[in-house]
Amino acid sequence: MDRHLDADEALRRLREGNRRFVEHVVSLDVLLSHARRAEQAMAQHPFAVILGCSDSRAPAEFIFDQGLGDLFVIRVAGNIAAPSQIGSIEFAVDRFGVELVVVLGHSNCGAVRASLDHCFRPEATTPGLHAIVDRISPALLPLVQGCGCRTAEELMPEAVRANVRATIHVLRSASRLLEERLESGRLRIVGADYDLASGEVRFFEGVPETA
């Protein structure tokens, strides 16, 4: 698909694609995109950026029923916004004129769970995990400190959304390019979570009521 989509159109297309995925339907456009590999090898025209988790159960192209060349997908454990992810988003926004960025969390996220465990028992976190949990856990600490007797399992849905919101905050504040596009109305950054069991994506942050 080569026609440029604004943020509202891109969001609508993602929602329609997710509805097909939930209903176990694959669009003809997606199937035909596989036959256009040679054409797409010359250029790409993604209509949205997805910053999602690297969890093997959450591939964005499947979840939104999109074909080759439709989405610029960045996947990292816990859908965090480290410098390389910010740079990748800047690249897509600047090079391809993408106007919609989706930060996509998901249920039962292992990185979020590890970060919750770190909040409860920081001494148990292995050195390698600190690169992930140190970026996620600050957003989860208020949940843990005010949780009363609730367990990490009970806090997970709120923690997933808190992490998505924290990533959006980083994207909106850590990049001058993204900030300028947001201020000019040429970019929208929204948050969503994906339910592994139902297949449904729920948009909950940064989405206008009329969208």
Asked whether 109 and 53 are in contact (CB, 8 A), the reply is yes
- State the Cα–Cα distance between residues 164 and 108, nearest whole angstrom: 14
pLDDT on residue 1: 52
Dig out the tokens for 105 from the structure. Answer: 């969390």
pTM of the prediction? 0.93
Give the closest residue to 106 by CA, choosing from 134, 75, 81, 128.
75
Domain boundaries 7-205, CATH class? alpha beta
pLDDT digits (tens, 9 = 90+) for 81-95: 999 999 999 999 999
Domain spans in the chain, listed from the N-terminal domain onward: 7-205
pLDDT digits (tens, 9 = 90+) for 34-84: 777 777 787 889 999 999 999 999 999 999 999 999 999 999 999 999 999
Phi and psi at residue 56, in whole multiples of 5°?
Answer: -65, -15
Rounded to the nearest angstrom, the gap between the alpha carbon of residue 205 and the centroid of all alpha carbons in its chain is 11
pLDDT digits (tens, 9 = 90+) for 153-194: 889 999 999 999 999 999 999 999 999 999 999 999 999 999
Sheet holding 71-75, edge to edge: 71-75, 48-52, 100-106, 188-194, 201-205
